[in-house]
């Protein structure tokens, strides 16, 4: 079995060459599905290090984007030995950029970091009307609804979405987190969300707190 701690550290250091070399070597040994799941978990732990370094100001958004790509490549490399079973999900998130807003970079960073933390994420995409969130929440019954937006007018659309969830009788069955450049404590209160963040790593921690 490979050195899982060293692999976690390499992911944390964003050392793509080393990570891929280790993973290719591991796959070539035709490992068991159980061992492969341990390797996935080690890579995911590396993402948690990336998130911590981002929060400390040592990594920046560009590093988070690269980390997401690195993790995707790692999982793709491991796919042949992962089998059909998948690791248990810690919870599900319905995620989208709200109506009128076409920005998705922050949403995508949050998505890849949430997936690395074990969440199953249903990504609705950009410019999503309140009704699309309501329909998906009805279908999935997620733990968390994540709404993203960059423009200040996204705040209005976030409020509309929360109101629509209330009207559909779904508000109390989910936790709602909003994220993006314009969100603030005041906006969060006005919108009626449970939490807000401008920091994807922090957002994932908030969601983890909800599923403990």
Partner 1 sequence: MNAQELKQYRTKLFTDVYSGIIPERFPVIDGISIDYIIQYGNTDIMKAQYSFTKESVLNMYEKIMDILRGDMFPSAHARNPVALMFQQSRTMTMGSNGFIQHPETSNMEADEYDEFIENPFDFLCEKVLPRQNPGFDTDPITRSLAFAKYVLASMDFGRIVAEVGRELSEKYGFFASPAGSAIGQSVPFDFLADMNRGFTKIPMDIKRQPQKVVDACEALVPYLVWKGMNPVTSLLGNNMIMTHMAPFLSTKDFEKFYWPTFLKICHICAERGQAMQIFCESDWTRFVDHMQDLPQGTRLWMEYGDPQKFKDKLGKKMVLEGFYPLTLLKNGTKQQCIDKAKELIDILAPGGNFIFRFDKSALSLNDLNTENYIATLEYVLENSKYDNAGELVTTAKTEDSIVKYSHLYPEFKSKYIVSFDEFKKVYPPVDDRIEPLMRSAYNKYTNMVLPFM
Closer of 13 and 194 to partner 1 (Cβ): 13
CB 191 within 8 A of CB 100: no
Residues 6+ positions from 8 with CB-CB distance below 8 Å: 42, 43, 45, 46, 49
Placement of tokens 């591991």 in the chain: 26
Question: Which of these ranges, 26-34, 44-52, 75-83, 121-129, lies near partner 1 under the rule CB under 8 A?
Answer: 121-129
* Shortest distance in whole angstroms from residue 62 CB to partner 1: 4
Contact pick of 29, 166, 186, 209 for partner 1 (by CB under 8 A): 186
DSSP per-residue string spanning 147-203: EE-SSTTHHHHHHHHHHHHHHTT-GGGSEEEEESTT--HHHHHHHT-SEEES-HHHH
Contact pick of 33, 61, 138, 169 for partner 1 (by CB under 8 A): 61
* Shortest distance in whole angstroms from residue 102 CB to partner 1: 4
Contact pick of 13, 16, 35, 163 for partner 1 (by CB under 8 A): 16
* Residue 197: CB atoms within 10 Å: 21
Question: Which of these ranges, 36-44, 85-93, 94-102, 139-147, lies near partner 1 under the rule CB under 8 A?
Answer: 94-102
Judged by CB under 8 A, the chain residues 122 through 181 that form the site for partner 1 are 126-127, 129, 151-153, 155-157
* Per-position b or e across 110-142, b if 16+ CB within 10 A of its CB: bbbbbbbbbbebbbbebbbbbebbbebbeeeeb
Closer of 37 and 97 to partner 1 (Cβ): 97
Residue ranges in contact with partner 1 by CB under 8 A: 14, 16, 58-63, 65-66, 69, 99-105, 108, 126-127, 129, 151-153, 155-157, 182, 184, 186
């Amino acid at each position: 079995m490979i050195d899982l701690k060293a692999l976690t550290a390499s992911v944390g250091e964003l050392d793509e060459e080393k990570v891929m070399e280790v993973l290719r070597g591991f796959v070539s040994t035709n490992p068991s599905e159980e061992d492969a799941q341990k390797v996935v978990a080690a890579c995911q732990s590396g993402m948690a290090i990336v998130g911590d370094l981002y929060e400390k100001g040592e990594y920046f958004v560009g590093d988070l984007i690269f980390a997401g790509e690195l993790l995707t490549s790692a999982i793709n490399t491991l796919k042949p030995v992962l089998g059909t079973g998948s690791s248990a999900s810690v919870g599900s998130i319905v995620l989208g950029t709200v109506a009128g807003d076409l920005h998705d970079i922050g949403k995508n960073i949050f998505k890849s970091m949430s997936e690395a933390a074990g969440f199953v994420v249903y990504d609705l995409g950009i410019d999503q009307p309140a009704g699309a969130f309501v329909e998906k929440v009805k279908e999935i019954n997620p733990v968390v609804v994540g709404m993203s937006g960059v423009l200040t007018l996204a705040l209005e659309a976030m409020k509309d979405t929360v109101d629509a969830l209330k009207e559909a009788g779904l508000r109390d069955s989910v936790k709602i987190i909003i994220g993006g450049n314009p969100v603030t404590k005041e906006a969060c209160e006005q919108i009626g969300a449970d939490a807000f963040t401008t920091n994807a790593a922090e957002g994932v921690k908030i969601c983890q707190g909800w599923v403990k």
